Amino acid sequence: MGDTATLPQHDPDQQKRSADLAVAQARYAISYDIVPGIPMVAQVPEEATPSKEWTLRTLIPLKNILANVVANRCIEEEHNIESAFEKQVAKGLTFSSLIKGFGAGIEQVGELLDHLGEDASHSLMKKVLRGQHITGHHDATARSPWMSPLTPHGRPKSIQCYDDLYREVERPPVMELWQDDNWFAQMRVAGQNPMLIKGIDALPAKFPVTEGHYSVNAEAGDTLAAALKEGRLFLLDYELIGDTVEDNTNPILGERKYTPAPIALFAVPPTGGSLRPVAIQVGQDPANFSISIPADGWAWQKAKTAVQVADANYHELVCHLGQTHLIMEAAALATKRNLSVRHPLYKLLMPHFEGTLAINNSAAHSMLAPGGVIDLSFGGTLESMIRLAGRAVSEYDFHAAMPPADFARRKIGPEGRLVDYPYRDDALRLWDAIGDWARSYVDYYYRSDADVAADDELGAWSRTLSSPLSEGGIGGFTPITNHADLRKALAMIMFTASAQHAAVNFTQWADMSYSPALAGALWAEWKEGDATEQDWLDLLPPLQFGELQAEFLSLLGGVHHTHLGEYKSNSFPYSDMITEPEIVEGALAVFQARLKEIEIQITRENRDLVTRSAPYVYLLPSKVPASINI
């Protein structure tokens, strides 16, 4: 990418530029059949496949996953792992030499990976996405590997059964917290899905919480009416899950799985502080579902589990897959197909798309395939789960999803009563920094609104993204006619590809990989009334799917590749994409310094815990990749 960045109206070689774009449009042809109705690249070109550095980074969690599979079966590696390469990785032999090579320099890494085979890590990852790393079988729906006495299987006799599945993969912190009500509330503002909770000034008629319900977990003298009036009540409503997801049968065991659509109420005490849970109704119709409160013992734990199952579905299919991965797929395709490699915006955006097309393709053909993780572990039919992801994309509003607008719409901004909302506070810091970087970059190349209007490649890019979904667009994206429009659009794309994805992706190991804390389905039909610990255990997944969850999410939450604020190509020698000295030494240096300041601010707040009840690390700039690549 050594070409000087040039706007098309200033490029003397218009003919070559147009010819190159025609080639790119052919190479990045769009299909609407991979995930029905969603624009995706028909075939991932070689230059968009994972870099060697990414391949190396994925070996760390993959090595641990394979070692965990072996340890859980207590048999020799060669009985479970097919290729010689995989056996070496599981034993840690080749892996140690790879890590040594990584420390020695990128040239040696390239040589090592060339020796092993370019797609070794990618192939292993696809097996994890399909669950084949556990079955050892290319048909993930085959019964025999799952029913083998060597495979952990069957219903848990106690929580210890799930704990024992973590032999070589790291144990997540949630193992010590899953029963704690404060942790349950904290997940709404600092967990896997901090995107759904909203402030309310009236209770929905379908959720008849009373003063009696509220008083059980309230401070002395506090009332439901006062909390409503003072803006201290907050709601989760999984109506979208109930409207979209259809219950399913596990394709291996033939057991029925269920996906609830609960409603949950939380409150901030009148004296301030963090959210507290108030009440849960496990379905949308109060005629069929009673209200549970924290004093209800195991019935309350069951209700919390129902919320966590619904949240897992909403997280994975809506705010993770749908509204980061697939939205950025459309942005990446529009960029590849409409902006020349010489365009300044191409050079700005492509590092934010590194690996996105490839990882989305892997997910579509593995995770979302029959017998893949979604089919095996989540409650809905595969068709309804894909439909849920499709709704997440089709109902997305680009401008309404911008952090300040989103927090205002949900009545949960920093000016309100909810002080302990780490995701919001850290997201706004990064949003402001990214917005200032976008402003400086745009101002350097576009001296006036007339320059924006004269850029025909930008015009084509804008028209594509503001088109209907069926034509490669993004919902709510509006045509770009001036500086302000362009700055906001670029900021939102960069924020979504980096910070937003980091917030919903890297929580998966810490908060989602332990089945007693969160699972993709209820494995028994919901029953109202009093409950015992066994009634609650009956809702949890069989152990083979607990193992799959632990290993799969340790992979998704364990690969940090690229860094926000770095602009490199994805192929050796990983050259700089942005080279203009005025930008590198000016606006980019300012942006990078700003990220370091934010790192210090967040680290201080995580240490002092004045406004937050627990550290929140997912939006530390040093932990935020530039792109969606896992």
pLDDT of residue 395: 97
Task: Give the mean pLDDT of 390-415.
Answer: 98
Burial class (CB in 10 A: 0-12, 13-18, 19+), 80: buried
- Altogether, the residues listed in the chain come to a count of 630
pLDDT at 84 over 50: no
Examine the pLDDT at 65 and tell me if it is beyond 60.
yes
Amino acid at 542: P
C-alpha–C-alpha distance, residues 591 and 569, integer Å: 19
Q: Is 389 left (phi over 0), alpha (psi -120 to 50) or beta?
A: alpha
Is the pLDDT confidence value at 147 over 60? no
Q: How many CA atoms lie within 13 A of 164 on its CB side?
A: 14
Instruction: Provide the pLDDT for residue 57.
Output: 84
Cα torsion for 28, 33, 35, 40, to the nearest 10°? Answer: 10
Can you tell me the mean pLDDT for 210-230? Answer: 95
Question: Architecture of domain 1-49+119-518+543-630 in CATH?
Answer: Up-down Bundle (1.20)
Whether the CB-CB separation of 402 and 492 falls below 8 Å is answered with yes
Q: What percent of the chain has pLDDT over 90?
A: 78
Residue-level pLDDT at 348: 98
More confident residue, 125 or 393: 393
Poorest-pLDDT segment among 100-104, 401-405, 606-610: 100-104
* Pick from 68-72, 468-472, 479-483: least confident: 68-72
pLDDT above 80 (res 137): no
The mean pLDDT value of the chain amounts to 89
Asked if residues 74 and 82 have their Cβ atoms less than 8 Å apart, the reply is no
Contact 535, 549 (CB under 8 A): no
Contact 537, 553 (CB under 8 A): no
Structure tokens at 320: 């993770």
Whether the pLDDT of residue 42 is over 80: the answer is yes
Note the maximum CA span of the chain: 77
Q: Which two tokens stand for residue 112?
A: 């090592």
Which of 178, 268, 267, 237 is CA-nearest to residue 512?
178
Check pLDDT > 50 for residue 167.
yes
- Please state the φ and ψ torsions of residue 31, each to the nearest 5 degrees: -120, 145
Mean pLDDT (whole number) for 340-357: 97
Query: Residues 132-151, buried b or exposed e (16+ Cβ, 10 A)?
Result: bbbbbeeebeeeebbeeeeb
Rounded-to-integer distance, Cα 125 and Cα 95, Å: 15
Whether the predicted pLDDT of 556 surpasses 50 = yes
pTM across the whole model: 0.91
Q: Hey, is 256 helix, strand or coil? A: strand
Q: Give rounded-to-5 percent helix, strand, coil for the chain.
A: 55, 5, 40
The pLDDT > 70 percentage for the chain reads: 87
- Residue the block writes with tokens 């009956």: 538
More confident residue, 258 or 123: 258
pLDDT bucket at 176, cuts 50 / 70 / 90: very high
> For residues 379 and 522, is the Cβ–Cβ distance under 8 A?
yes
Q: Which of 116-130, 341-355, 549-563 has the highest mean pLDDT?
A: 341-355
Query: Between the ranges 115-124, 141-150, 589-598, where is the mean pLDDT highest?
Result: 589-598
pLDDT at 606 over 60: yes
Output the DSSP codes for 306-350.
HHHHHHHHIIIIIIIIIIIIIHHHHHHHHHHHHS-TTSHHHHHHG
User: Which among 522, 544, 542, 519 is positioned nearest to 531, based on CA atoms?
Assistant: 522
Q: How far is CA 252 from CA 135, 162, 249, 442, in A?
A: 11, 20, 9, 53
Domain boundaries of the chain, sorted by first residue? 1-49+119-518+543-630
